[in-house]
Structure 1
């Protein structure tokens, strides 16, 4: 089984959500990061965080570029070969032969370019016929980017399996709380979780993940109960 994890932007909790899904997945799991940018050789990247949070899990990084840019731009500036969607799909298929679940975490949003031909994480999802889990921020502006991402998925014939809030604040403001009702509507997909702020710093990450993700992702999160608790 394949699952693509993408986001509505950067720094919104994609890696934390990827780790949470991996931590709760039954059977063997592999996590693929097609392109890691903004990290020098030898430095810890997103996959190091996944391993730290989940314990033993297979991780594969296909490309690494030092500047914190979109993968296509970072590869071009580094004078390095880009990571092409077909290569990611091939690596994922190979891992699927020995793992029950292969998670593929994108860089930035759905249409961020991996190469100068315009390949994106959406192309990887298309080639693998994989569902896409969308991670979004919680507050003001989330509805627009979630709606745009969902529309782009539909245009490409891809299925959004759910929307997860990657960093639910300790003291959510009015817009954040109201978004709990509106996000599923604008994305035409279920609210599949809300990972609380600071979750990755907790030794109880797996337990937090279980309460923060919906049953289809291995957790116990109840979207309706969560909405009722926060919307007055």
Structure 2
């Protein structure tokens, strides 16, 4: 690892669940790896593991990069809810931040994928991904990427998420449209222009719908072309 590189953490959040956050995480990871960076992906909390769900596993399948899943819960619910139903206490966000900081000492880039949206609770004390990003930013270079939908409702969701980040002094590094349809309608075509206008944040990547169906080689070859 070159001592001249700036070590960083990239926090990936979504405006909601199902907007393509995991594929966006994989694309950002593949891009960093293609640039010669050492990369590790961290999923602080994964729910739904009883159903075989694993976002970290999907990122590894698409990129081949190292992944770490810090807490796993059986039911496909918000982390705090799944933990409460299981009678478990989640580690505090500060503990997740410490583990990410340690990883950042040994990797050029640590990509952290959240669960659902920015304010979903990741621990039993009400700590959120926003809290995690803010804590990380105090000691390590931290970028936050917001994954957004393409269709109706995305402008409101994006503005709310960007506003929440700015309320904590975090300026988003960019927006990623997580799933762009093969035949975009009027709303999608307007939104791709309106998203940067209403949020003041650039769209840095547009991922095609169905990208998760690609194999590792095809994903790695195609992903650079999705970035602006």
Question: How far did 1:84 drift?
Answer: 2.1
Match of 1:205 in 2: 219
Distance 2:58 2:133 in 1: 23
For structure 2, the 5+ residue unaligned runs are 1-7
Match of 2:100 in 1: 92
After the TM superposition, which parts of structure 1 deviate over 6 Å for at least 4 consecutive aligned residues? none
1:132 aligned to 2:144? yes
Match of 1:45 in 2: 54
Which of 21, 26, 30 in structure 2 is aligned with 1:19?
26
Instruction: Map Cα deviations across residues 95-143 of structure 1 (whole Å, 9 max, x no partner).
Output: 1111100000000000001123220011111111122100011000000
**Equivalent residue of 1:117, what SS?**
coil
**Superposed counterparts of 1:27-176, under 5 Å:** 27-40=37-50, 43-55=52-64, 57-129=65-137, 130-176=142-188
**Equivalent residue of 2:50, what SS?**
coil
Residue pair 1:35, 1:83 contacting (<8 A) in 2 also: no
Question: How far did 1:44 drift?
Answer: 4.9
TM-score by length of 2: 0.90
Residue pair 1:136, 1:166 contacting (<8 A) in 2 also: yes
Distance 1:150 1:44 in 2: 28
Match of 1:225 in 2: none
**Mean Cα displacement is larger for which, 97-106 or 194-203?**
194-203
For structure 1, the 5+ residue unaligned runs are 214-220, 222-232
**Mean Cα displacement is larger for which, 144-153 or 201-210?**
201-210
Question: How far did 1:67 drift?
Answer: 1.1
Match of 1:189 in 2: 201
**Equivalent residue of 2:77, what SS?**
coil
TM-score by length of 1: 0.88
**Equivalent residue of 1:181, what SS?**
helix
RMSD: 1.2
Residue pair 1:133, 1:162 contacting (<8 A) in 2 also: yes
Match of 2:4 in 1: none
Question: How far did 1:206 drift?
Answer: 1.3
**Equivalent residue of 1:35, what SS?**
strand
**Equivalent residue of 1:11, what SS?**
coil
**Mean Cα displacement is larger for which, 32-41 or 90-99?**
32-41
